[in-house]
Structure 1
């Protein structure tokens, strides 16, 4: 990859951050524009705060920290070239790689580009202290493609220094190592983490190597202001892609790679560098100003399995993708709080600007008889996305137990493409398209007691096509699919949650989201997905969550989700290899593929002695459709995992060792599916029984 591009970047950063409850409702905190000034414990939204400072498995990715949440579906592909598959309440399931429809942030720096495309690969669990997850209508306040919001915060300390070294190894040649340093002094603090993960892979042709460096630094810039600087470097020099399997191949040998993956040596390389900071000023009149921005670069090179004969078409863009992305943004916000009788009134006004400049090139994946190499240039574009958002949020709390929260965001997103590859049979495909949408949200919350509250919320959101979805037209023609329209959603939720001190907590939430101009995969061949608007859809369901402290040594966490996600409009779709003319009917009422109707997670912790902890985890997932038109399903599964952990102190240091067995009963299962894969290779198998063992050393100087 382009190592010279991975240079020091200069910028400023801020992103929305949402934090949720601990054991009692009194401890809810909310920070980050636009919800920063919402009163604690009076936010009408579904929020979770996950503490991930001590993970008990290989630190592969963020997905392992999110899998226990209701409404959040995490499917591990065992294919690091395509990243984790993540959806929230049914949003994001169509993604064949990366993350769609969900806003992601790392220490205030967006990991979601202005077009709505996001990545989890550079999130280092070794550096994280907690993960905050927002679901429901108020996600729309965060702009385009905000079907949910996930924010990762680096670990920090109050004073002194803390060092951590961690090493773990497991099945299939997997290992991760990391080193972390935390420091806090008078008026400043720092966090710095370096991590490396590598694995031979559960499947053939699935080796991976990932290296990352995260840093976060905060400074008091006076009596009423603070400056925070964050940076991230990520490098994955070569990750092999085994591709999906047919059902027959999965049953025969789930660890195999498809022959096309071996023939073309399918693989992906990624490098990323980003830096940002935010400056906040608090004034004596109860108001504050925050100015922030960020800048980053992300370069991707991917070798696909597009057959040679398909590239004979003059409109083909080849079988090698080369993307250079440069992105930046800025956020300016003003907030103020007034007394209003016995309560409070707060107002937040802000403007957010984002830009992505992308050079997309395509090359043939062959030279003469050699396959899997970079050949002739077949595509050369200069693409850009610019977004300009204005937002406002008003909260009125007439008393300490009730609150009304209103929000409004006006977003304008412009896509443009300049074609630099014009040849016989391949005309100039330059063009542009502009999307604009206003998204209001409103919610009511009431607390009957410090441990019991209920809320209702309604909102409107939207999701533009990403550049990856615009890049390949459904008719097989060259140029971008500028005819795609943004998906517009209306969502509602009602929730009730309670807590009894620090021993028990529970939550029940009902939700529904209706979408028009739903974006769906029309065909998916050779690693390239084509999309179209297919009418309306509905996602509705119920989430349940229980955290119970049964005794001093026993604790139970249980979550369950019921989701009914269906297309409400009929449409037609491609089926079979090489199809460019959608003709296979998908009737109204069909389930949306890639989503499970039911999922559940149970964790039982046993701490018989202070130094020892044991845990049993069980997870279950119902079957999912693999394509819009096909009746074929990936079967559901139930898996059991075991954990043993030992802690001790020696020579002023804290030690932690763990042993983990995943998929204890060695069940065959499908880890994820590639929705609407045109060759019928829908299945990405999950591993059988695996073992991992790790050792962690912590030393603090106060």
Structure 2
């Protein structure tokens, strides 16, 4: 990052800090557990970690993107397509994913939402019952294993005392409607938080209607003063969410609300049904030792109707068809021991554990036609049992070697095994069974210096790795039999330095510089007949700067801002496919070409007026830099800045608390590309964001 870029940014932060008056009363500082696996202030951790809590100003509160705008380095794009999950990337990791989430580890209440191969989803995150979201970035993410370019973890709130009943409804443009009911409380040794949320939308674009029901329950039972058992249940139902697909840039310019014709022709859609249960046992053994045991099990069914042409399926005997039918069973556990005492007379903490995760997937494929009828389930074209599991061991230590210095380090050994058993063998479709094993040891180390009570400096370094997912192993680039077990895992070397500032109890800011160099980055090799194959790129780099600012400028006047500048590029040349019919990589990509899906910069700022009760108002700005859409760098989405306005009134009278709110987003009614479909084989890269939209709602609490 050039020095001239850094000076004005750092200077601006320091000037802003110096102009804010010192507060006279203290606020309760947040705590996080994701970085160290124990409750600590993020100000005392030598890593980039942020926490966001439940918003009080009212929102649709359905998509993760609504909650995390204030966290630098994290990009969550609402695709306006509920047949596909949100796009989530951290410092450029995970940006290549065209569906699902890769490269970023996801958790809810300590239970993985990412599968052992690194692919995950956030559709079952229930934000209505959540207390906070923690986001860990940088080298220490590697202590969570495979595909840990960063960690996003959602925590459900504990039961409240006195008990509360909550009801909410919000609706507005494009047929958006959210209704929710929540009960939380304490009854003797038991605390509970039970939530049900219904959401439906007509969709901003044609053929994009969806409905989603989610339920979440967290029930804790205090067995005695030293032991607690927590049960976490959640369920998700998304029936026949319409998939509008992407648009070419010409289609976007002509009418951003339209869909590609094939979406209507084949009635592209997706259904998801998921149930999951987790059990967590926490035991305090003595003053120094504690034990945590977690186990979980889940089922997830997915049926998706694609737009693969009939002619393609007929011509290719080995084609897996245009209907994907996945039945998943998954589960695992984590056992962790923690010791807190002193070492050489200084506070010391050590956590060590083992983790096991397993996924068994029955993958079937069918033709998306019967005779002349399109968009229906036809003859079977694929049938296989895919299994992937990991077995990891990890240890992490934190040692305050002096009043002003803390050392933190750890190591994780990960082993990931894939096995595929082909149950559909026919002429032109040979046996694709096979196995492969990946393993890596990822050390990390960091140091924190308390330069002054209001300024902490830190540095850290570590290694990470990311295996291909089963989706990326699905086909070989040479079109031969079997899965692409020749693909290598990507391995990275990550470094970070940063400052954390708290000049007063009402002001905090952060600044971080980071670099991640990766070997064997995964990128697209071919796109042919609905099949995408992958290859390894020798070297790539992600580097940049993050800044954040959060302050109460005056009584009931709050300013929050976040900024990220990111350079992500391939460092070695390679060949790729560009045209839809490309059967082998034939177009050169030059070294220095930007990694697609990664915006050059992102920014967010919000000015909020109002306290806990009475009138509320806010003005916010969300900015996204230009984003490359393909490996060649010949297609991109332009950058933009969108403004929103919010307001409302909060009544708090005895047992009742009523929050009325309204929002207007995209005030200028700009037409922009909200997200891109990386390396789409048909050149349909653009996913439009809505124009001006309106939202009104009310959330009621009864204590």
1:281 deviates by 1.4
Q: Which residue of 1 aligns with 2:409?
A: 406
Q: Which residue of 2 aligns with 1:483?
A: 486
**Tell me, which stretches of 5 or more residues in structure 2 are unaligned?**
1-24
Match of 2:337 among 330, 334, 353: 334
Q: Is 2:103 aligned against 1:101?
A: yes
Rounded to whole Å, the distance in 1 between the matches of 2:86 and 2:26 is 32
Match of 2:619 among 612, 616, 621: 616
Contact kept, 8 Å, 1:34 with 1:141, in 2: the verdict is no
Rounded to whole Å, the distance in 1 between the matches of 2:67 and 2:693 is 18
1:669 deviates by 0.1
1:331 deviates by 1.0
Rounded to whole Å, the distance in 1 between the matches of 2:168 and 2:380 is 44
Q: Which residue of 2 aligns with 1:5?
A: none
Match of 1:231 among 230, 233, 248: 233
Contact kept, 8 Å, 2:528 with 2:582, in 1: the verdict is no
Q: Is 2:525 aligned against 1:502?
A: no
Superposition pairs of residues 142-221 of structure 1, within 5 angstroms: 142-221=144-223
**Distance change >3 Å, CA 526–CA 161, structure 1 → 2:** farther
Q: Is 2:401 aligned against 1:369?
A: no
Rounded to whole Å, the distance in 1 between the matches of 2:346 and 2:416 is 38
Contact kept, 8 Å, 2:596 with 2:629, in 1: the verdict is yes
1:547 deviates by 1.2
Q: Is 2:57 aligned against 1:65?
A: no
Q: Which residue of 1 aligns with 2:4?
A: none
1:349 deviates by 1.5
Match of 1:245 among 244, 247, 252: 247
SS of alignment partner, residue 554 of structure 2: coil
1:156 deviates by 2.7
Q: Is 2:454 aligned against 1:448?
A: no
Q: Which residue of 1 aligns with 2:666?
A: 663
1:469 deviates by 1.3
SS of alignment partner, residue 126 of structure 1: helix
Q: More displaced, 283-292 or 135-144? A: 283-292
Q: Is 2:349 aligned against 1:358?
A: no
Rounded to whole Å, the distance in 2 between the matches of 1:39 and 1:339 is 19
1:651 deviates by 6.5
Q: Which residue of 2 aligns with 1:14?
A: none
Q: Is 2:580 aligned against 1:553?
A: no
**Distance change >3 Å, CA 484–CA 337, structure 1 → 2:** same
Rounded to whole Å, the distance in 1 between the matches of 2:656 and 2:141 is 42
Rounded to whole Å, the distance in 1 between the matches of 2:607 and 2:525 is 43
1:281-340 deviation line (CA, Å, top 9, x unaligned): 112251111222100011100000001111121110001000111001111111212223
Contact kept, 8 Å, 1:597 with 1:624, in 2: the verdict is yes
Q: Which residue of 1 aligns with 2:48?
A: 46
SS of alignment partner, residue 313 of structure 2: helix
1:477 deviates by 4.6
Q: Is 2:511 aligned against 1:516?
A: no
Q: More displaced, 110-119 or 345-354? A: 345-354
1:223 deviates by 2.6
Match of 2:268 among 266, 273, 277: 266
Contact kept, 8 Å, 1:280 with 1:291, in 2: the verdict is yes
Contact kept, 8 Å, 2:48 with 2:137, in 1: the verdict is yes
Q: More displaced, 666-675 or 274-283? A: 274-283
Contact kept, 8 Å, 2:422 with 2:433, in 1: the verdict is yes
Rounded to whole Å, the distance in 1 between the matches of 2:640 and 2:335 is 47
1:241 deviates by 0.3
Contact kept, 8 Å, 1:572 with 1:582, in 2: the verdict is yes
Rounded to whole Å, the distance in 1 between the matches of 2:613 and 2:483 is 60
Q: Which residue of 2 aligns with 1:9?
A: none
Rounded to whole Å, the distance in 1 between the matches of 2:203 and 2:91 is 30
Match of 2:600 among 597, 601, 604: 597
Rounded to whole Å, the distance in 2 between the matches of 1:557 and 1:69 is 10
Rounded to whole Å, the distance in 2 between the matches of 1:511 and 1:180 is 41
SS of alignment partner, residue 31 of structure 2: coil
Contact kept, 8 Å, 1:446 with 1:453, in 2: the verdict is yes
Q: More displaced, 471-480 or 664-673? A: 471-480
Q: Which residue of 1 aligns with 2:429?
A: 426
Match of 1:378 among 376, 381, 390: 381
Contact kept, 8 Å, 1:305 with 1:526, in 2: the verdict is no
Match of 2:131 among 126, 129, 132: 129
1:472-506 deviation line (CA, Å, top 9, x unaligned): 33344554211111110110111101113332111
Rounded to whole Å, the distance in 2 between the matches of 1:405 and 1:37 is 15
Contact kept, 8 Å, 1:203 with 1:255, in 2: the verdict is yes
SS of alignment partner, residue 35 of structure 1: coil
**Distance change >3 Å, CA 556–CA 131, structure 1 → 2:** same
**Distance change >3 Å, CA 660–CA 138, structure 1 → 2:** same
Number of residue pairs the alignment of both structures matches? 678
1:658-702 deviation line (CA, Å, top 9, x unaligned): 1100000000100100011111110001110000100111001xx
Contact kept, 8 Å, 1:25 with 1:499, in 2: the verdict is no
Rounded to whole Å, the distance in 2 between the matches of 1:157 and 1:227 is 14
Q: More displaced, 518-527 or 552-561? A: 518-527
**Distance change >3 Å, CA 28–CA 165, structure 1 → 2:** closer
Match of 2:536 among 527, 533, 537: 533
**Distance change >3 Å, CA 194–CA 185, structure 1 → 2:** same
Q: Which residue of 2 aligns with 1:8?
A: none
1:105 deviates by 0.9
Q: More displaced, 470-479 or 253-262? A: 470-479
Q: Which residue of 2 aligns with 1:325?
A: 328
Rounded to whole Å, the distance in 1 between the matches of 2:531 and 2:610 is 49
Rounded to whole Å, the distance in 2 between the matches of 1:41 and 1:162 is 32
**Distance change >3 Å, CA 386–CA 677, structure 1 → 2:** same
| TM-score (norm: length of structure 1) | 0.94
Rounded to whole Å, the distance in 1 between the matches of 2:580 and 2:42 is 54
**Distance change >3 Å, CA 24–CA 89, structure 1 → 2:** farther
Contact kept, 8 Å, 1:273 with 1:297, in 2: the verdict is yes
Rounded to whole Å, the distance in 2 between the matches of 1:466 and 1:24 is 47
Q: Which residue of 1 aligns with 2:307?
A: 305
Rounded to whole Å, the distance in 1 between the matches of 2:89 and 2:36 is 23
Rounded to whole Å, the distance in 1 between the matches of 2:685 and 2:59 is 28
**Distance change >3 Å, CA 38–CA 176, structure 1 → 2:** closer
Rounded to whole Å, the distance in 1 between the matches of 2:211 and 2:572 is 43
1:589 deviates by 0.5
Q: Is 2:495 aligned against 1:492?
A: yes
Rounded to whole Å, the distance in 1 between the matches of 2:702 and 2:634 is 56
